[in-house]
Structure 1
């Protein structure tokens, strides 16, 4: 805990100096909320949210799951689209040319989430999908890369994506970067994004907020979901 506090203090000091530099050069602008939101939960499946796995992340039980539950409730009462994203692989033989892991297995143990182990890549039961919500399987870091996500969102007239999940340094970050590139307003929900390494969330959210998305607190995101839902109903 002492190390975490020291790291947070050091990062805060560094971010203060970096913010001055960014703002002086025109960074940290706001993309803003749009008229039609969707919630994208990235890799909040058991291999990432439950203890004892290579992909297990921090602050899942005490912060991320409760926050996502609140976002889901807001989306469901207002009729906003929800996409639950997970990752799994059909061919986990690293020597096979037919593997759908590509070259990613040369860096990380993606073979852990084999398709024949659905207990690992299934969405955490505490935030499990309800009928009408999408469950999207991806093969790469970004939820957009090689998937139907952008087309699904456009077909639903979505202009804003609220992104949660893990990890801040990889799948969440690349999803936000690709979401902006695809023309969506990108919102990172601050309390609902995690990682495995101390400092990784703070650094990535700071840098994402400067370049690729607006990092917004959970309370503001829920208020937005309710407000836009009320206006749409009216």
Structure 2
């Protein structure tokens, strides 16, 4: 789509959101879950296959380079300065052959091209070097959309007394959304970081964040999250 088309789409979405917001408020939606006292940052699929050009999973590069990566760099700096746990999530498969009699892809390959994320090609599923993990941060490998489904994530968070997850990454309509929904279902306060969530499809981020904010998480800006994170250190002092 052209810039003009995207601008028109944004205007239409905003008009739809205004109408829907009124309906939601009248019916008791859009409540706040709020920040807790023990947060962790969960970064979903900000690996090269999603953040860099040239892959079927590549997301909107303008938003990636202009908002998501810079926003993540700020969040990571605040987390590292304040001792906040960080989990980097990525996706890859050991048996990416669709004709194999047995594969760890399950049936997902029937819908999307997950066979292109081969665990043998580490560069594809490695976390983007601009936001690479540092010592003390955990990289979690998942096989499904949600970072919680079939993984150790919930157990790790509970073992460290985490009550709040700030979720970033891609894509808004799939892996980020599923992670947020499962996070809330597992009892964590869920925060979607507005500028640090992307997708491949125009309008997908805006629509999903609007809907997520109504039902599954608080959508908050990077600046709000930074203020919260830095305030934790002051409170502890």
Quickly name the TM-score band, shorter chain normalised. Answer: over 0.9
Tell me, in whole angstroms, the C-alpha distance in 1 between the residues paired with 2:42 and 2:31. Answer: 22
Report how far residue 100 of structure 1 moved. Answer: 0.3
* Residue correspondence of structure 1 range 150-229 to structure 2 within 5 A: 150-229=154-233
Q: Structure 1 residue aligned with 2:121, among 117, 121, 138?
A: 117
* Unaligned runs of at least 5 residues, structure 1: none
Tell me, in whole angstroms, the C-alpha distance in 2 between the residues paired with 1:122 and 1:230. Answer: 34
Question: What corresponds to 2:55 in structure 1?
Answer: 53
* Residue correspondence of structure 1 range 18-29 to structure 2 within 5 A: 18-29=20-31
Question: What corresponds to 2:45 in structure 1?
Answer: 43
Preserved CA contact (<8 Å) 1:43 1:85 = yes
Tell me, in whole angstroms, the C-alpha distance in 1 between the residues paired with 2:5 and 2:33. Answer: 34
* Residue correspondence of structure 1 range 138-153 to structure 2 within 5 A: 138-153=142-157
Report how far residue 228 of structure 1 moved. Answer: 1.4
SS at match of 1:83: strand
Q: CA RMSD in A?
A: 0.6
Report how far residue 171 of structure 1 moved. Answer: 0.2
Q: For each residue in 1:80-137, what CA deviation from the matched residue of structure 2 results, as whole angstroms up to 9, or x when unmatched?
A: 0000000000001112232000000000000111010101000000000000000000
Q: For each residue in 1:53-84, what CA deviation from the matched residue of structure 2 results, as whole angstroms up to 9, or x when unmatched?
A: 10011111111000000000000000000000
Tell me, in whole angstroms, the C-alpha distance in 2 between the residues paired with 1:147 and 1:228. Answer: 28
Tell me, in whole angstroms, the C-alpha distance in 1 between the residues paired with 2:101 and 2:90. Answer: 23
SS at match of 2:88: strand
Q: TM-score, normalised by structure 1?
A: 0.99
SS at match of 1:92: coil
Q: Structure 2 residue aligned with 1:34, among 36, 41, 52?
A: 36
* Unaligned runs of at least 5 residues, structure 2: none
Report how far residue 229 of structure 1 moved. Answer: 2.6
Tell me, in whole angstroms, the C-alpha distance in 2 between the residues paired with 1:80 and 1:97. Answer: 43
* Residue correspondence of structure 1 range 67-82 to structure 2 within 5 A: 67-82=71-86
Q: TM-score, normalised by structure 2?
A: 0.97
